[in-house]
Structures are given as C-alpha cells and as structure tokens.
Structure 1
Amino acid sequence: MKPLAQENSQNHLPISMITGFLGSGKTTLLNQLLHQAEMQHTLVIVNEFGEIGIDHLLVKATTEEMMLLEGGCVCCSVRTDLVTTLEEAFHKRERQEIEFKQILVETTGLADPAPILRTLIDDPFISAHYRLETLVTTVDALYGEQQLDEYDESVKQAALAHHLILTKIDLVDVATLQALKQRLQSFNPTATIQEVNFQQDTLNAAKLFKTAHYNNQTEQLDVARWLNAETYIQHQQETPDDPDHAHDEHQPHRHDRYIKTFCIEHSEPLHWLTLERWIQQLTRLRGKDLLRVKGIAYTYETDLPVIIQGVQHVFQPPTTLDAWPSDERRSQIVFITRNIEKTIVERLLHTLIKSKTPIDVCQAALILIGQEHEFNE
C-alpha cells in the first residue's frame, strides 16, 4: 500500500449546487439569492442567462459568458461543459481577472446530479482545486409526489440533497405537505427540510451554502458532522431492509422505492486489499447504482483514519486524517444506492474478508450479480 495523501479539502474552493425538477422553483430561489450580501465573491454558473432575471442586477458584462452583478456576485453561463467552465474560471481567478471565493451551480430541471458530482471527483484538475460544499434541491409541494412516482431524476435530486426546499406550499393542504415530507425523509433521512412561500419568505444564502463539515482547530473534516452516520444507523433501525416489499406487485410503481440509505460498520481493522476488492466489485458490477458513498475506514496498514468517497463508478484517491475523531476506532461507510440492499453490501464485505484464493474473490462477485438479476426479473 502506497503512503496516502493527507485530507486537505478545506483548502479547496467550495462548490454548491441548486437542483430541482422542472417548475419546482430553483430559478426563483436563485433570483432571490443573487442580490444578498452573502453572495458576494460568489461565481454563479447557469445554463442560460435568459432563464434568470439578472438585468436589474447587471453592473457590466465582462465577456459574452460572464457578467458582474450588483453586490459583487459574478454570473457566467456554461460553455462546452462544466469541467471547461470550472477550469477557465479558476485560471481567470489566478490571473485576477475575476474574484470569487465560492461557486454556485444551477442545474437543468431534468439533470441527474450524480454524474455532476462524479465530475467533481473524477477530473484531476477539478478534484485538486474544488470540493462539494452542499447540494440544495427544490421540491414542488403541489406536484412533488407525482414527479417522484414518474421521474428517476427527481428522486436522485432529492436523495442526494443536503437541503430540501419545499415550494408552492400555499397551494396544498397540511396533510399533503406532511405526506410529501415523510416520503422524502424515508429515503433521505439526513437532509434538512424547509418550507417556503416565495411570495412571503426569503431564504438566507449563508444558511443554505455554509456547512459545518470542518473543524476550525484541526482544519480537517469533522467526521461526525460530515458523515452523520448515527442518523443513518437510526434510520435503518426504524426501516429495516424489506426485499419482499420492494417486489410487491400491488405497490404503485415509485422510483424512490428503490433508493436505499444505510451505514456499514465494522469494528475490526480491514486489510487494504480487502477494502480495494470490495470497492472494485461494487463499482464494476453495480457502479451505476452507487449514487453516493462516503466514509472512514479502519485498516491494518495505517494507524490513521482513511477517508473514502465515491459516486457511481468513480472513487477519489483515499486520504487520511491527522487523528481519529474519538477513542473508538471502526470503519463507518455511508451508502446511498439504487437497488442495492445493505445486507448485500455487508455480505460481500464479509465474504471478501474470509476469501483466501482468487476463486473465493470471484465467487464473492456472484453476490452482486445475483441481486442485480433478481431486481431485473
């Protein structure tokens, strides 16, 4: 095992995202945020200038793709792709052509956020200079239930969010709103949920886009806050795996029925090779269904905690923290998946721990292949 780099993402430029299904109010939210003082030194990346009302905030257009807004916020449109836009923005900042301390990306209404998150860790330049801060998803209180039933993108937008903003709350009754909140919490137990009527309420940008994921004294990840493992553990105790329910033909077809959120814990140290094989088999055989993986690993090869992060088929190079967050050493890895049960992931890990030969490792893969076949039947 090669020496691992030290975790230093606090020194990277934070990127936050606003996403939400068509008509859910994400552009209205962005328009509300643009003039706030908290948005000073923010680069806002949108798909089209015409989709947001910025004329009243415009100070000057620096280029065809970039505009300086009142209050010190810079707004730009995506050029060929997000990676190119982020690279060019970073170089312009280095040349002091523009000034920003954080980035806010607005996605399209039909965007699946998982590939965008994957970009942030897959591209070497982007992962070396930027980090994901927070993901905000707007949810239409009037049509949210229907959109979750019919559109996989809507489910993923909600499942990966740190903040869920329920809009159009004045158009639904209390019972409808409560049912939607319970449904969202069933597959995203860690997100904060806020109800907003844009005609009356104003959301504060600082509260939306500032996380407490870093310890100011150590300048490293605060694992307890970043991972939020205890919330996932409590959630899985309250809603244990129920494969029979997942296949109940009498249940309506709902995309969020297949979203699984759980935390894998292991108190004994793991061999690095076992951990690598575990991740490799998950990504190669079920990568498209790994919406988000993050955690801390306890290994034989180092006394330091190892940070693991991945989206779908791509995992960041592992890094280490300076010290364990508590006296108790154990692996805790959080999964947000589509169609992959906790029991399957645990069984794969335990099988690989016991494996002695290449044949044993290959046989372990059958656990994943078998479950995928089961869901596709």
Structure 2
Amino acid sequence: MNSPSAQRIPVAVITGFLGSGKTTLVNAVLKKPACGQAAVVVSEYGEVGVDHVLIQAPSKRMRLVDGGCMCEYVHEEVAASLLNLLDRRVAGTETDFDRVLIETSGLGDPVPIIQMLQVDPEISRHFELRVVLTMADSLHALQHLDRYAQSIKQVAVADVLVLSKVDVAEPQAVEALSARLRTLNPGARQVRAAHGDLDARLLDGTPHQAGGSLAEVRQWLASEAFASPTADDRSPVRTFSLVHEGEATVPGLVLWQHLLSGFRGAGLLRVKGIVNVEGRPYAVHAVQTIVSEPVPLDQWPDDDRRSRMVFIVRGLDEQALRDTFAALRFEGGRDLRNMVIRPEVYARFRDTISLFRQRAPEPAEAASAR
C-alpha cells in the first residue's frame, strides 16, 4: 500500500532526444528555490559519462547510471540509485533532498523507468512520479521524429512537452514542431523555453499514476483535439478517441485494463480517459503494459456520461480496440458468496478473451512496436 502522496518524494522524469536541452533544463531548474534541494539521477549512454559532470548539484545528491539505452536493466540501476539516495538521506543541506529529477539517456526508452516508478513496491512506497517532461529541440526535433523511433516514444509518453531553443530557431520552425507534436500527443501540455528557463511548478504536476485531475481529464478529452483520428504520415503512430455508450462494471473495467495491457501492451504508447463505472466517473491511465489503478473522480468533467478514452498507439487497429470494449460489461459471474461461477458468464469471459487473441499483434509487429 502506497503512503499518502504528501509523504512520498515527488519525482520528475526528464526525457528527450540527444541534444534537446535536458541538462540545460535540469541546471536551470536546480537554481530555482523550489528545487534547490533536489536530488538528480542521470542515465547516460556510453562508457564515459559526461552529462553528470555538467549538472550543478552537490555530488552527495547526484547519482550516475551508466549504459543508457544499451543496458536492458537501466531501470533497475535507476531504482538502486533512488534507494541508495534514500538510505543516505540524513539531516543537512548536502545530503537531504525533497524531490528527485531523473534525466534519461537521449537514446533511451523512458517507459521502463516510468513503469519501475509505478509498480516497484519499494520504490512506489517512497517515491511518487509526478510528471514526465519531454524536451523537443526546435532546431532538430522534426528530423529526429522522422528518423528515430525513440524520439516518437519520448513524445508519446509525455505529460508536458517543452519546445527548447526557441530563442535561436525560426518562428515558423517552432510552429511546425508544435503542430507535429500535437499530432503525436494532443493531450500533452506544450510550453516553450530558452536556456532551460521553465516554471518549476510544472515539475509538481498531478501524480502521473493517478490518471489526472478533472482539468487534465478535460484537456485529454477536448473535442477540438480529438474530433477525428489524427495520424502522422511520417510515422506509424496514431492518436484517436473511442467512446463506449454503456456503463462498465467494476470487474469489467479490471478485466478490460489487464487484458488490454497483456495482449496489446507493445502497441499502446499511452491510454488516458474517463470510464463510467456503474454510474461513477473513473480516470484511467496506461503506459504500454503498465496499467494504473483506476481513480474515482469527485464529479464528471462535463454533462457527457459516456466512457471516453484517448489512445496513442503504434501498429494497432482502431476497430480492434473498440471490439475489446465488450469486456467492460463483464459481471464476474459468482453466486453464493463468490463460490459458484455461472457457466453462461464463464462462456462470455472466454469469448471476451478471444477478442483480444484474435487481433493480437503478430510477433514481428510487436517487436517493431518496441
């Protein structure tokens, strides 16, 4: 059981492709009063780390993870660094810290780190992922998005997209990048920065695993952003919203989320939205195979009582995902104090699973999605 958010240490994951300005931003943020006691974990690519030398934080609050994207277990190294910082956390300005900034490798996949922060029981007991912030270089990001799959994934999982180097890029180039990013991740907040100057309050965000506040849900479900499916013809990533008219059951939502992640996880870059669960609104959130616990909202964001979910996917068919909504009606099928399973309900359960299996990605497709 996680401790209350106020008792956990907030974490911001700062990602983005090579040269996008991550280190510059971290240094600028560390100078702000709100982040003066931050610890920093840097994941680098290559045998000789350089970025961590440039970070202007006390060495006692700095941890370097070697290997970057080349290390399959980099998320475990990051977890070990966080626990080491926690063990050494004592009173005093040099060793105490009140938040953590994790700078990922420019060539790395941030998803394993995001997953670790959400599901590792020891890490999630002490640390809380607040925001995933992705840097996009206004001079070169369009080329990176055309050439590198890592760059697309870094954009897709972001809560906040920071367009960097806006002081040296041509205004039309900045606008073109903004439009491209909106195609890939319409629900993310966009801000522009020069020399890493950023409002430190963006690092506090809304707890990433909580699915978002009412304001954030409204942003993700904005009709102007998702009036029609969006696709970038230069990449296999598509963004669209799907609507489910009927109410979901509690066991149906649990079944749908876990079957979705298990059978479709490789192609799900991001899922976010609101589900009508027996008349109550629940925020849902998933990043690839990691499904966050649905969070009940105090009220509906608008007068619409339908379930509405936004998908950012790679290599998945819109209709295939719509078909899986049948699982949301699953009742559980138990009688007599949960000791008897009705055969007809079990048959529906079996048929529901077949919806996922029939349209599951081929091995080659799943591999390309990674």
Q: Which category of TM-score, normalised to the shorter sequence, fits these structures?
A: 0.7 to 0.9
**Which letter maps to 2:356?**
A
Is 2:18–2:107's contact at 8 Å kept on the other side of the alignment?
yes
Q: Which moved more, 1:261-270 or 1:126-135?
A: 261-270
Cα separation, 2, equivalents of 1:123 and 1:346: 31
The CA deviation at 1:105 is: 0.6
Instruction: From the superposition, tell whether residues 179 and 279 of structure 1 become closer, same or farther in structure 2 (CA, over 3 Å).
Output: same
Is 2:283–2:297's contact at 8 Å kept on the other side of the alignment?
no
Is 1:167–1:197's contact at 8 Å kept on the other side of the alignment?
yes
Is 1:6–1:319's contact at 8 Å kept on the other side of the alignment?
no
Cα separation, 1, equivalents of 2:112 and 2:3: 23
1:78 matched to 2:68:
no
1:227 matched to 2:217:
yes
1:45 matched to 2:32:
no
The CA deviation at 1:184 is: 0.8
1:336 matched to 2:312:
yes
Cα separation, 2, equivalents of 1:136 and 1:76: 19
- TM-score (structure 1 length as normaliser): 0.74
Cα separation, 1, equivalents of 2:219 and 2:170: 33
Q: Deviations over 1:188-208 (max 9, x none)?
A: 11333333342xxx6134233
Cα separation, 2, equivalents of 1:42 and 1:115: 22
Residue aligning to 1:184 = 181
The CA deviation at 1:334 is: 3.8
Residue aligning to 1:271 = 249
Residue aligning to 1:173 = 170
- TM-score (structure 2 length as normaliser): 0.75
Cα separation, 2, equivalents of 1:223 and 1:82: 28
* 1:217-296 aligned within 5 A: 223-228=213-218, 231-237=221-227, 239-240=228-229, 254-255=234-235, 258-296=236-274
Q: Deviations over 1:318-377 (max 9, x none)?
A: 35547445696554444332223443322221376488534422431255337999998x
Residue aligning to 2:200 = 206
Is there any run of 5+ residues in structure 2 with no aligned partner, and where? 67-75, 331-344
Cα separation, 2, equivalents of 1:312 and 1:44: 26
Which of structures 1 and 2 has the larger relative contact order (alpha carbons within 8 angstroms, sep 6+)?
A: 1
Residue aligning to 2:70 = none
The CA deviation at 1:154 is: 0.5
Secondary structure, in 3 states, of the residue corresponding to 1:234?
A: coil
Cα separation, 2, equivalents of 1:45 and 1:313: 24
Is 1:260–1:341's contact at 8 Å kept on the other side of the alignment?
no
Residue aligning to 1:34 = 30
Is 1:25–1:138's contact at 8 Å kept on the other side of the alignment?
yes
Cα separation, 1, equivalents of 2:359 and 2:172: 40
Cα separation, 2, equivalents of 1:208 and 1:295: 21
Secondary structure, in 3 states, of the residue corresponding to 2:123?
A: helix
* 1:143-154 aligned within 5 A: 143-154=140-151
Cα separation, 2, equivalents of 1:8 and 1:228: 25
Is 1:223–1:325's contact at 8 Å kept on the other side of the alignment?
no
The CA deviation at 1:81 is: 0.4
* 1:107-126 aligned within 5 A: 107-126=104-123
Is 2:17–2:151's contact at 8 Å kept on the other side of the alignment?
yes
What is the percent sequence identity of the aligned residues?
A: 28
Is 1:112–1:157's contact at 8 Å kept on the other side of the alignment?
yes
* 1:293-372 aligned within 5 A: 293-300=271-278, 305-316=281-292, 318=293, 320-321=295-296, 323-325=298-300, 330-350=306-326, 353=329, 356-366=347-357, 368-369=359-360
Q: Deviations over 1:135-185 (max 9, x none)?
A: 222212222111101101101111222222223345543333222211111
Is 1:16–1:134's contact at 8 Å kept on the other side of the alignment?
yes
**Which letter maps to 1:83?**
A
Is 1:241–1:342's contact at 8 Å kept on the other side of the alignment?
no
Is 1:6–1:321's contact at 8 Å kept on the other side of the alignment?
no
Cα separation, 2, equivalents of 1:270 and 1:29: 43
Residue aligning to 1:16 = 12
Cα separation, 1, equivalents of 2:316 and 2:239: 9
**Which letter maps to 2:198?**
N
Cα separation, 2, equivalents of 1:221 and 1:240: 22
Is 2:237–2:312's contact at 8 Å kept on the other side of the alignment?
yes
Residue aligning to 2:69 = none
**Which letter maps to 2:360?**
I
Q: Which moved more, 1:116-125 or 1:291-300?
A: 291-300
**Which letter maps to 1:167?**
S
